[in-house]
């Protein structure tokens, strides 16, 4: 076998190997695309589930923000009521001290 025949035989072998590899790839791609339809359906179902989960999460966030606002409002009202009660208690104590002092003065004078 001379050099030219060897090069031509190697080129033909490489070309046939490339053609068989490309054909095998094409066949596998063709069959995998057939089963890929179920994969696409699964991906669509997962995407829909993800979308629904995101909507539920957004609704939960909105609910929590509203609830937080309500609770903060209740806290501020309770704190205002507490301040008013403390002011009333302070006034009542002061008035009780004044009454005690008045009674002690009356007993001392009488």
pLDDT digits (tens, 9 = 90+) for 43-73: 889 999 999 999 999 999 999 999 999 999 9
3-state SS assignment for residue 23 = helix
Count the neighbouring beta carbons within 10 Å of the beta carbon of residue 36. 13
State the average pLDDT for the chain.
Answer: 91
DSSP conformational letter for 110? -
Residue appearing with tokens 């009333």: 88
In this model, does residue 17 exceed pLDDT 60? yes
Task: Grade residue 33 by pLDDT with cuts at 50, 70 and 90.
Answer: low
Q: Please give the Cα distance from 64 to 53 (Å, whole number).
A: 16
pTM, two decimal places: 0.49
């Amino acid at each position: 076998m001379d050099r030219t025949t060897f090069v031509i035989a190697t080129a033909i072998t490489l070309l046939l190997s490339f053609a068989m590899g490309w054909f095998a790839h094409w066949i596998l791609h063709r069959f995998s695309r057939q089963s890929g339809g179920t994969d696409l359906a699964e991906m669509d179902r997962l995407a829909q589930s993800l979308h629904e989960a995101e909507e539920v999460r957004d609704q939960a966030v909105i609910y929590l923000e509203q609830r937080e606002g309500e609770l903060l409002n209740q806290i501020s009202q309770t704190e205002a009521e507490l301040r008013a009660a403390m002011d009333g208690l302070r006034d009542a104590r002061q008035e009780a001290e004044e009454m005690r002092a008045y009674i002690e003065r009356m007993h001392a004078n009488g």
